[in-house]
Structure 1
Amino acid sequence: MINDTSKQASQDAIEWALSHGMALKTTPYSAVHTAFSLTPTPISTARYQKLTSSVGLLGKLVHFASEDAEFLNQAIAPITKGDPFFNALLEMHQAIHQPNQQLTHQPNQQESQSAKRLPLLIMRSDFMDDASLGPKLIEFNGIAAGMGPFGQRVHELHKFLQLQAPEAFSEWSTPTTGKLVANHALENLAQGIANATHRINAEFAAIEQSSIDNTTNAPTFLMVVQAGEDNVYDQHLLEHALQSKGIRTIRRTFRELHGKLKTGDNHRLLLDGVGAIDTVYLRAGYQYCDYHANDIISRVCCDALMQTRIFIEKHRVAVNATVSQQLATSKRVQMLLSSMEPCTLTRFGLNIDEAIAVKELLGEMIAVTKDSAAIVANGSNNDWVLKNQGEGGGHCIFGDDILPKLAALQPHEYQAWSLMRRLHPSARATTALTVRKGELQKVDDLISEIGMFTVHIDGKPAIDVKKLEVETLAVEKFDVKPLEVHGVNEQITDKIAYAGYLIRSKSARSTEGGVHSGMGVLDSLVFID
């Protein structure tokens, strides 16, 4: 039975969440708190250290894969017949990187050029910590890789509860709970974006210093959003962090950008009524409906708004996610990378030791073929997960539903699907208490998905870290000698890729773990040793 102490703690937590923007919009004038766990999920120091020290290599790998046009064309072409959206994405990618294509859909054009954008890769790599295999990658998220701000907020919520409601916090925590694992995802993501934004702004300030017609203005960040979005508070938290760094933030849908973007001198991207844009951050564009505009006459559905995205990348502006990044973080590319030997992975900017470390994180994935049904039937129905190329919830098929779906696929659709070896993380050792829409629920088999954020600017780590700060981090988090963690040594660089984490937990009986679209709850981490 849930006692009054726990009920009061949950009410305090709900009010804290709402007052700190940890919410989802329900109407134009109201919101509900996001679902969350009352206490954090435990992780061993070794598992956490392995992830934080290696996840930056995944960002490096994806960057180099995204900039390898030949590889992307060969990787994506086989799935275009079975997935019209990826066919459109590949056409967009080819249009962006063809230097002779004319951008006739926008006025005020200069001579057409190939992509001028600065790749800003903000990626969330999602893992499950398998009971026997250790942490394995579930998927890359390179577009709309959100909820970093919520990840930091729920960590702060757990810090609040540990102080405000120690009795309830202790009751619902594992007996071996130690220090909470720090999470600065909001601050670090904002810092990485700010670094890219200031870089572009400074480039044009230098170019236009002596220009009479100077288009340089305050550093400006454009977030491309979905119409009617309900997950806006996570986005606004990021915007507020950028505003505190002196960056102007603008929100627009693709439809609102159509016909409003122009070309300035030196391939400067201009937006009517705003001026020069330094960074474009996409929280939309990962599904066809983001490009729908029934009021625009177009030769192909969605073509007009896709041309807007192409137009952006033809300019000197920092962009996350580029179309090539979206392709490189697809399930198709993940499957191909997971099947490569370490020596082959060195094609993508890694040395052999880095490639070996990356290989350890990649789970088993195989392409769907005419023989896939036999492979699934020969094992347990919990051995595999069937996945298509879709982003977000609802794109994975489990258990008894796999064989009927395989039977329904046409041969030309096979390549757009893959089978991933199903992971089985250990559930929390003790019952957890979750809070959803004000209601408390005990969960006796809570498992967690671990999302690790990284930021790269043109393939280089983008988070500023001073040597003293890294050494302090080592001592506080791992209780080891300062120069033994994350490769810290006397020649340490001043930038890292790892930016923070997002934990989403759910019952092991639930297949949809998204906080926004599934039965997941926001969670944080605590060390158990």
Structure 2
Amino acid sequence: MYSSQTTQATTDAIEWALTHGMALKTTAYSATHTAFSFAPTPISKARYQQLVASVGLLGKLVHYVSEDHQFLNHAIDPITKGDPFFNALLEMHKAIHQVPLQSSERSTEHSTEKSVSLDAPSSSAKRLPLLIMRSDFMDDAALGPKLIEFNGIAAGMGPFGQRVHELHKFLQLQSADTFNQWSASTNNQLVENHALEKLANGIANTTIKIKQEFTQSDLSTGFENHPPVFLMIVQTNEDNVYDQHLLEHALQAKGIKTVRRTFRELHDKLTTGKNHRLLLKGVGPIDTVYLRAGYQYCDYHANDIISRVCCEALMQTRIFIEKHRVAVNATVSQQLATSKRVQMLLSMMDTSALTRFGLTLDEANTVKGLLGEMRPVTKDSAALISQSRPDEWVLKNQGEGGGHCIFDDDILPKLLSLKPDEYQAWSLMRRLQPTPRPTPALTVRKGELQQVDDLISEIGMFTVHIDGKPAIIDLNGGQQAYAGYLIRSKSARTTEGGVHSGMGVLDSLVFYVDV
């Protein structure tokens, strides 16, 4: 049983969360609070500053990888036989960038341009790459922070990351005794998190940039008085809408109109305006397109559209968008560049090879220090696992979101079931072993309290780049890429740590006492 003081503080916290939009939709007219920790997880100031100083280099790296179309084609092609979805993504990439198709491949319905050689400049992809990326780390007890994965499409929950930080501030003030009882640090210096404001800053800067490019042509077409427009592509019947709406509200406060559509709702509604302007029926010009969908086949399903290939019609909509002068996150190229396959290839490169992607040798050394060990799956992988401890490796496929990692005693049977042409779609990552929180933690899920004695945390760091350059403008006019953090914590005994799809909880950071 918990004390009446703790119970009252929890009630206050739940009501604060619902009041501030930290919730998941349960029905058309109801919601539940997002699971959260009662007090933040500790981090050393040096570790935090190291991540903030270096995470922008990962965004820079991924941008240059995403624009190296020859590299992407060579990287992704081997997994297409074992992963039909990535086969479809690669075909979209070829259509967008006019990579020559084989004779048996069908050209896109929107493209009338002739194919060009792989090394020739692309004349078809006119979009401005807007890379909003979340790099997820775990702080290994022996190795320090190591990258778990890149998230370049649907890299969400930045607004929730800020909200739970604000919730912890609220509890620190309103319920100090209970907060201190469950805090793992006596310092109680919370680590500031302005993810919502910074993400909105970067997106707004990009959106206004595109709007300004069309100042003259908008005058001639009657769109000069239209506000800048941000289009969010969402999933049908999405339950994680409040995190999205928080970002929209922040953009609206900056004078940007926001529009939400599924791929199905965009079908046959997009047209081409003057100077490759992207137009949406009933709305007008679109300046930024932000994908919170498109990372799984079901996002492209439309049973009422007759198409020769499953999902082809709605994938053509995504291709059509990228052939216009509009800021896009995530481009198909960015989605490929942030795949597990590319992450593995980058982790296996030496530092000199990484300089191919816009990095200096010093920057490549910094990046190399963040990349965890990954290996391709081969016919010898089963023997490797047989000789290893059960908790030494994680088996991953190319899927996004929860449910795509295999752990412990389930790894070997899965490896033995794979066919040789499926090997390349999988990889082995050395499992990270973070140190659990030194004191018991209190978590809150669906109104219920639970004490967790071995809470570990995943650290997501947001960055925003426009065409490879930092996109966030600070008060002094300087530019930065870092855009706040997201902490998701879970029991060390739990493998699925997602807040939305697993057993994780929202969390924030507090500095250890300096010694």
TM-score, with structure 2 as normaliser: 0.95
Give the letter aligned to residue 339 of structure 2: S
Residue deviations 1:478-501 (CA, integer Å, cap 9, x gap):
xxxxxxxxxxxxxxx710100000
* Displacement of 1:174: 1.7
Alignment match of 2:164 (pick from 151, 154, 168): 154
In structure 2, the CA distance between the partners of 1:259 and 1:366, relative to structure 1 (3 Å rule), is same
Q: CA deviation at 1:103?
A: 8.5
Q: Distance in 2 between matches of 1:162 and 1:33?
A: 19
The one-letter code sitting in structure 1 at the alignment partner of 2:41 is T
Q: Who is 2:244 aligned against?
A: 235
Alpha-carbon distance change, 244 to 14 in structure 1, aligned in 2, over 3 angstroms: same
1:427 counterpart SS class? coil
- Unpaired runs of 5+ residues, structure 2, are 115-122
Contact 1:180 1:525 survives alignment (8 Å):
yes
Aligned to 1:54: 54
CA separation in 2, counterparts of 1:58 and 1:214? 38
Distance 1:117 1:37 in 2: 40
CA distance in 2, matches of 1:448, 1:147: 15
Residue 134 of structure 2 is aligned to residue 124 of structure 1? yes
* Aligned partners of 1:221 and 1:279 also within 8 Å: yes
Cα displacement string for residues 10-33 of structure 1 (whole angstroms, at most 9, x for unaligned residues): 110000000000000000000000
Aligned counterpart, 2:373 = 364
Query: How big is the shift at 1:379?
Result: 1.2
Aligned to 1:476: none
Aligned mates of 1:281, 1:121 — CA distance in 2: 10
Is the contact between residue 52 and residue 498 of structure 1 (CA under 8 Å) also seen in structure 2? yes
Q: Which of these residues, 447, 459, 464, is aligned with residue 456 of structure 2?
A: 447
Q: Pairwise mapping of residues 92-491 of structure 1 onto structure 2 (< 5 A)?
A: 92-98=92-98, 105=109, 113-209=123-219, 211=220, 214=223, 217-467=226-476
1:104/1:379 CA distance change after superposition, 3 Å:
closer
- 2:28 matched to which residue of 1? 28
Return the alpha-carbon distance in structure 2 between the equivalents of residues 321 and 247 of structure 1: 19
Q: Deviation per CA, 1:106-149, whole angstroms, max 9, x where unpaired? A: 6xx99785000000000000000001100000000000000000
**Are the aligned partners of 2:232 and 2:291 in contact in 1 as well (CA < 8 Å)?**
yes
**Alpha-carbon contact 2:108-2:316 (below 8 Å) kept:** no
1:5 is displaced (CA, Å) by 1.0
Counterpart residue number, 1:71: 71
Contact residue 464 and residue 495 of structure 1 kept, 8 A: yes
Provide the rounded CA distance (Å) in 2 between the counterparts of 1:499 and 1:287. Answer: 26
CA contact (8 A) 1:394 1:512 kept: yes
Q: In the TM superposition, what is the alpha-carbon distance from 1:466 to its structure 2 partner? A: 3.6
Cα shift at 1:206: 3.6
Q: Which runs of 4+ in 1 moved over 6 A?
A: 99-104, 109-112
**Amino acid across the alignment from 2:446:** K
Code of the residue aligned with 1:339 in structure 2: it is: M
Structure 1 residue 178: deviation in Å? Answer: 3.2
Does the CA contact (< 8 Å) of 2:94 and 2:100 recur in 1?
no
Partner Cα distance (1:3, 1:442) in 2: 13
C-alpha contact 2:377 2:423 (8 A) present in aligned 1: yes
CA distance in 2, matches of 1:284, 1:140: 16
Structure 1 residues 216, 355: closer, same or farther in 2, change over 3 A? farther
Structure 1, 91-100 or 153-162: larger mean CA deviation:
91-100
Give distance in 1, aligned partners of 2:113 and 2:331. 22
Structure 1 gaps, min length 5: 468-492
Q: Distance in 2 between matches of 1:72 and 1:235?
A: 30
TM-score (normalizing by structure 1): 0.93
Q: CA deviation at 1:176?
A: 3.3
RMSD between superposed Cα atoms in Å: 1.6
Partner SS state of residue 382, structure 1: coil
Q: Which residue number in structure 2 is paired with residue 14 of structure 1?
A: 14
